[in-house]
Chains A and B, each alone.
Chain A
Amino acid sequence: MDFANLASQLNAGTILPEGIIIVTLLGVLIIDLILGRTSARWIGYPAIAGLLAAIVALYYQWDAVNPISFTGGFTGDDLSIVFRGIIALSAIVTILMSIRYIEQSGTALAEFIAILLTATLGGMFLSGASELVMIFISLETLSISSYLLTGYTKRDPRSNEAALKYLLIGAASTAVFLYGVSLLYGLSGGQTELSAIADGIITANVSQSLGLVISLVFIIAGIGFKISAAPFHQWTPDVYEGAPTPVIAFLSVGSKTAGFALAIRLLTTVFPMVADEWRFVFTALAILSMILGNVVALAQTSMKRMLAYSSIAQAGFVMIGLIAGTEAGYASMVFYLLVYLFMNLCGFTCVILFSLRTGTDQITEYSGLYQKDPLLTLALSLSLLSLGGIPPLAGFFGKIYLFWAGWQAGLYGLVLLGLVTSVVSIYYYIRVVKMMVVKEPQEMSDVVKNYPEVRWDLPGLRPLQVGLVVSLVATTIAGILSNPLFTLANNSISHTQILQATITKVSTVPLEEPEKL
């Protein structure tokens, strides 16, 4: 193999965005070593600039002629680009909100950002990884950084406990995942590349074997953990409550997106012959997640725990698109994850802002907030209502598209359950709005009575405000002006070869449905 041929097979340009992030990451670390704590004032901005540069690089890779790189280890197709973009965006907003939070907790910001960027890197590589070892390594990069982030405020016993819990469950579930992956390697006759595995399984004539089903189940256990689908969700509420809030914001969007990216790529490429089986399993997971997430969220008193259960439920909604398995289904997933980014990060920014000013995040303590902090009230109300799917906010359009795609694919039961649980979800989202807006001045909680004067000029609050306003505006208008986002989501699916192969097989089924009925 001569060098030119090798270079073209490596095709290293596809990971330019990740390359930029690696450089930023190292830069942040070295600056921290040289300058120490004094760099904390501004170290967030170069990191954000690096992430933005990575997004720009992603933009220029859209519709790349030759997306496969590293001899098949990494695919830079449009699907991966859109997921990598979501993860990078969520990291940007996370940095914006963490500058003040981490500084107030008395820990080093640069270290935090370095670990966060590593997690971002892991998530971005996971979105495009198309080889078993590569998948596992990027998954571990993401997971190990997440454990570190969860326990970052190490003087707080709750943060420690959350980190321990997350570590134990996470490590166990990656072990299960690894076992499933190793089975795949064996079943396919020693292939590690995803498309080769599918062929290998057919050649080895094990496409309906028990071994394949077991490996499928084990892999789903690993994926279910990342996207916190019930019954693999148990870590979510505890980790969300204990971990630093910016970390949860990242976990709920970045890490979850990576999990869904992995799910799409792995399941559609490797398991097309057992598609009915994994659809069935995910249907069960979606039903459980929607019911459990939404019903248990009703009984929460802590804001972060409520958002934890809400994120379980939202994962259930997104799974409808995955189960549908049509072009519209995948596109609706991508679209929902995009708007979920805005809604959730806006909501978490408000939670951070409130807890920075008052030091608590109990739902009852929010009562009467509209008088003291109208901007926070407005942003939190709108993001929660958008999560509940109230028009004309972004979440409404996201949910409509999911339900529409689900209905088109003939998933009537799931869509109806989604509608019913949406009504349930409106109840607990509106409970917070009620606390903030409806309560009379005399019903104000003690914390709000002593609410500090709203100031934005303290160090680190300005970026928080920017993140808040930007995500608020996006949550409000991303639905009404949703055409570009829809086009983006649809193109990302229709330009992706691995999906096109499976979609044509699936979409013939629902088309026949009306005639049968």
Chain B
Amino acid sequence: MLSVLIWVPIIAALIIGFWPSNSIPPNRVRLVALTISGLILLWNLFILFKFDLNTPGMQFQEYLPWNETLGLSYQLGVDGLSILMLVLNSLLTWIAIYSSSQNTERPRLFYSMILLVSGGVAGAFLAENLLLFFLFYELELIPFYLLISIWGGEKRAYAGIKFLIYTAVSGALILATFLGMVWLTGSTSFAIDAVSTQTLSAGLQLLLLSGIILGFGIKIPLVPFHTWLPDAYVEASAPIAILLGGVLAKLGTYGLLRFGMGMFPNAWSTVAPTLAIWGAISAIYGAVVAIAQKDIKRMVAYSSIGHMGYVLLASAASTSLALVGAVSQMFSHGIILAILFHLVGVVEAKVGTRELDKLNGLMSPIRGIPLISALLVLSGMASAGIPGLTGFIAEFIVFQGSFSAFPLSTILCVVASGLTAVYFVILLNRTCFGRLDNLAYYPKVLWSEKMPALILAALIIFLGVQPTWLVRWSETTTTAMVAAITPAEKTVISQVALK
């Protein structure tokens, strides 16, 4: 059942890539890719509705022995932590393919790479084996490198290589940690449930956990390791930026939750205060740097750093509520970033610039692009945390859940959230409002170009008004995860008290 999510896109990618005839029109390739990703999305929704909300553990498990010498088995499963991410992945893949241009150059390579990435990311979210996870994690490296450096902006070669190196380093760190976890605990298999780090000494646990945090921190990205992000996001074309920000960043936070908190509950509570501060710094940094940007895409890219800071804060707090908030924030950030990048892509395509100083008056009803501007206002508000939209719900749960644990960091994050509103107001003010140049004459925005944004906007509003649909999936799982941490936390506290 779950294998479909991995293998259908990968096989489709191979077929599209190797289809012998060279003369297929780009349009048809796009249509095929769109159909396949649509079917995967439907299948994913089917799984979502089959998902049993009251089971905390893995569901729909699949197991095949693969390579016993390495301790590698093909072991899949989905729980509350990953189900929403899977849906996000297939939704954004579909959106990315939909919003890609009708006449992309070298369409077969393009769509086959996107589908390959989609299958790989699904595999990483589903893997219940550390090595299998790593395999899928590294699988997206080369396709994304090619996606950035073939169909990117002007500095795409630089951005692509930078992305490649950062991600490869992150992979090396993660692999080293995984090897360490498995061998030091004396386990013979890389299966997640076979590895128990509890027997290790505190120092060693801390060392391994920091490997995890650094490895995934590059991907999330946390502040000192984020420098690949603005380049990669800005130089990538709009559909690729959607996938990069919407899906890949989630892989980082998911890894942090699953392998950091899930596997090192003791050490996690030791580093949690640092992580909370770190998350707050990330959030403030992202917001402040975004204010200084002159390029709207760069602004959105930095907003992504800020929003991932909230996820870090919530994971550090690790109360039941905060974790629900973290998962919701991951999902809603995914769709909000996707709509923002899509709209920015449309603006760039129609107006021909991304500079804040040159854009003006797009809201103008006749000569401007009013609907796109309106959606831009809506998604900017969603990103800034205005009630009624999904961004608010997620952030509110995060803050509510984290305040009891780390009040200072939470307050800093609230401040950052305020700063987010500042730069989005700047952005909207400079682009949508004001007066249109007399020379401006923009091409018409087609309905097909508006469609993805409309769908995402509807989703953003729906989840904002009806947040149960956002949080219900992860509640049971996160409660179970917190239950695994709490006893350990108590012992730490009681030890401190005794001293």
List A residues at the B interface (Cβ < 8 Å): 328, 331, 385, 390-392, 396-397, 400-401, 403-404, 407-408, 412, 415-416, 419-420, 422-423, 426-427, 430, 433-434, 437-438, 482-483, 486, 490, 514, 517
| Contact indicator B150/A390 (Cβ below 8 Å) | no
| Contact indicator B186/A401 (Cβ below 8 Å) | no
Note all chain B residues with C-beta closer than 8 A to A390: 138, 141-142
21 contacts between A and B (CB under 8 A): A390-B138, A400-B70, A400-B175, A401-B70, A403-B175, A404-B179, A407-B179, A407-B183, A415-B176, A415-B179, A420-B172, A423-B168, A423-B171, A423-B172, A426-B164, A433-B142, A434-B160, A438-B149, A483-B66, A517-B184, A517-B204
Question: Do A427 and B165 form a contact, CB below 8 Å, given A403-B179, A419-B176, A514-B184?
Answer: yes
Note all chain B residues with C-beta closer than 8 A to A391: 134-136, 138-139
| Contact indicator B141/A434 (Cβ below 8 Å) | no
| Contact indicator B176/A486 (Cβ below 8 Å) | no
Q: How far is the CB of A295 from chain B (nearest CB, A)?
A: 14
Q: How far is the CB of A316 from chain B (nearest CB, A)?
A: 16
| Contact indicator A434/B138 (Cβ below 8 Å) | no
Note all chain A residues with C-beta closer than 8 A to B70: 397, 400-401, 404, 486
Q: How far is the CB of B190 from chain A (nearest CB, A)?
A: 9
Q: Apart from A331-B69, A397-B67, A430-B142, what are 13 other A-B pairs with CB-CB below 8 Å?
A: A328-B69, A390-B141, A390-B142, A392-B139, A396-B135, A403-B175, A419-B175, A423-B165, A426-B165, A437-B150, A438-B160, A482-B67, A514-B185
| Contact indicator B164/A490 (Cβ below 8 Å) | no
Q: How far is the CB of A511 from chain B (nearest CB, A)?
A: 8
Kindly identify which residue among B67, B136, B172, B186 contacts A419, using a CB–CB cutoff of 8 Å: B172
Would you call B408 an interface residue if the criterion is a C-beta within 8 Å of the partner chain's C-beta atoms? no
Question: Do A486 and B138 form a contact, CB below 8 Å, given A419-B172, A426-B168, A514-B186?
Answer: no
Would you call B131 an interface residue if the criterion is a C-beta within 8 Å of the partner chain's C-beta atoms? yes
| Contact indicator A490/B69 (Cβ below 8 Å) | yes
When C-beta atoms are compared, the residue in chain B nearest to A410 turns out to be: B183
Q: How far is the CB of B302 from chain A (nearest CB, A)?
A: 26
Note all chain B residues with C-beta closer than 8 A to A437: 109, 146, 150
Q: Digit string of B134-175 for contact with A (CB within 8 Å is 1, else 0)? A: 111011011001100110000001001100110011011001
Kindly identify which residue among B164, B171, B186 contacts A430, using a CB–CB cutoff of 8 Å: B164
Q: How far is B175's CA from A474's CA once the two chains are assembled, in angstroms?
A: 25
Note all chain A residues with C-beta closer than 8 A to B26: none
Would you call B388 an interface residue if the criterion is a C-beta within 8 Å of the partner chain's C-beta atoms? no
Would you call B201 an interface residue if the criterion is a C-beta within 8 Å of the partner chain's C-beta atoms? yes
Would you call B180 an interface residue if the criterion is a C-beta within 8 Å of the partner chain's C-beta atoms? yes
Q: How far is B346's CA from A59's CA once the two chains are assembled, in angstroms?
A: 63
Q: How far is B67's CA from A404's CA once the two chains are assembled, in angstroms?
A: 13
Q: How far is B179's CA from A239's CA once the two chains are assembled, in angstroms?
A: 38
Interface residues of B in 169-201 (CB under 8 A from A): 169, 171-172, 175-176, 179-180, 183-186, 200-201
Q: How far is B294's CA from A475's CA once the two chains are assembled, in angstroms?
A: 47
Residue among A397, A422, A426, A437 facing the most chain B CB atoms (10 A cut-off)? A426
Q: How far is B22's CA from A93's CA once the two chains are assembled, in angstroms?
A: 30
Q: How far is the CB of B471 from chain A (nearest CB, A)?
A: 34
List B residues at the A interface (Cβ < 8 Å): 66-67, 69-70, 109, 131, 134-136, 138-139, 141-142, 145-146, 149-150, 157, 160-161, 164-165, 168-169, 171-172, 175-176, 179-180, 183-186, 200-201, 204
| Contact indicator A438/B142 (Cβ below 8 Å) | no
Note all chain B residues with C-beta closer than 8 A to A434: 149, 157, 160
Note all chain A residues with C-beta closer than 8 A to B141: 390
Q: How far is B131's CA from A403's CA once the two chains are assembled, in angstroms?
A: 12
Q: How far is the CB of B108 from chain A (nearest CB, A)?
A: 10
- 10 A-B pairs with the lowest CB-CB distances in the bound complex, closest first: A419-B172, A423-B168, A391-B135, A407-B179, A486-B69, A391-B138, A438-B149, A407-B183, A426-B168, A423-B172
Note all chain B residues with C-beta closer than 8 A to A408: 183
Q: How far is B67's CA from A396's CA once the two chains are assembled, in angstroms?
A: 13
| Contact indicator B180/A407 (Cβ below 8 Å) | yes
When C-beta atoms are compared, the residue in chain B nearest to A389 turns out to be: B138
Q: How far is the CB of B167 from chain A (nearest CB, A)?
A: 10
Note all chain A residues with C-beta closer than 8 A to B157: 434, 438
Q: How far is B210's CA from A239's CA once the two chains are assembled, in angstroms?
A: 45
Kindly identify which residue among A403, A438, A483, A517 contacts B67, using a CB–CB cutoff of 8 Å: A483
Q: How far is the CB of B170 from chain A (nearest CB, A)?
A: 10
Q: How far is B204's CA from A404's CA once the two chains are assembled, in angstroms?
A: 19
Q: How far is the CB of A459 from chain B (nearest CB, A)?
A: 26
Kindly identify which residue among B136, B150, B201 contacts A438, using a CB–CB cutoff of 8 Å: B150
Kindly identify which residue among A400, A423, A482 contacts B169, using a CB–CB cutoff of 8 Å: A423
Q: How far is the CB of A482 from chain B (nearest CB, A)?
A: 6
When C-beta atoms are compared, the residue in chain B nearest to A392 turns out to be: B135
| Contact indicator B176/A396 (Cβ below 8 Å) | no
Question: Do A401 and B142 form a contact, CB below 8 Å, given A415-B179, A419-B175, A420-B172?
Answer: no
Q: How far is the CB of B487 from chain A (nearest CB, A)?
A: 24
Residue among B131, B135, B179 facing the most chain A CB atoms (10 A cut-off)? B179
Q: How far is B178's CA from A403's CA once the two chains are assembled, in angstroms?
A: 11
Residue among A328, A427, A438 facing the most chain B CB atoms (10 A cut-off)? A438
Q: How far is B200's CA from A401's CA once the two chains are assembled, in angstroms?
A: 24
When C-beta atoms are compared, the residue in chain A nearest to B207 turns out to be: A517
Q: How far is the CB of A430 from chain B (nearest CB, A)?
A: 6
Q: How far is B136's CA from A331's CA once the two chains are assembled, in angstroms?
A: 25
Question: Do A401 and B69 form a contact, CB below 8 Å, given A385-B142, A419-B175?
Answer: yes
Q: How far is the CB of A489 from chain B (nearest CB, A)?
A: 8
Note all chain B residues with C-beta closer than 8 A to A397: 67, 70
When C-beta atoms are compared, the residue in chain B nearest to A406 turns out to be: B179
Note all chain B residues with C-beta closer than 8 A to A396: 135, 138
Q: How far is the CB of B200 from chain A (nearest CB, A)?
A: 8
Q: How far is the CB of B289 from chain A (nearest CB, A)?
A: 27
Q: How far is B165's CA from A434's CA once the two chains are assembled, in angstroms?
A: 14
Note all chain A residues with C-beta closer than 8 A to B185: 514
When C-beta atoms are compared, the residue in chain A nearest to B180 turns out to be: A407
When C-beta atoms are compared, the residue in chain A nearest to B175 turns out to be: A419
Note all chain A residues with C-beta closer than 8 A to B145: 430
When C-beta atoms are compared, the residue in chain A nearest to B168 turns out to be: A423
Note all chain A residues with C-beta closer than 8 A to B109: 437
Note all chain A residues with C-beta closer than 8 A to B180: 407, 412
Q: How far is the CB of B182 from chain A (nearest CB, A)?
A: 8
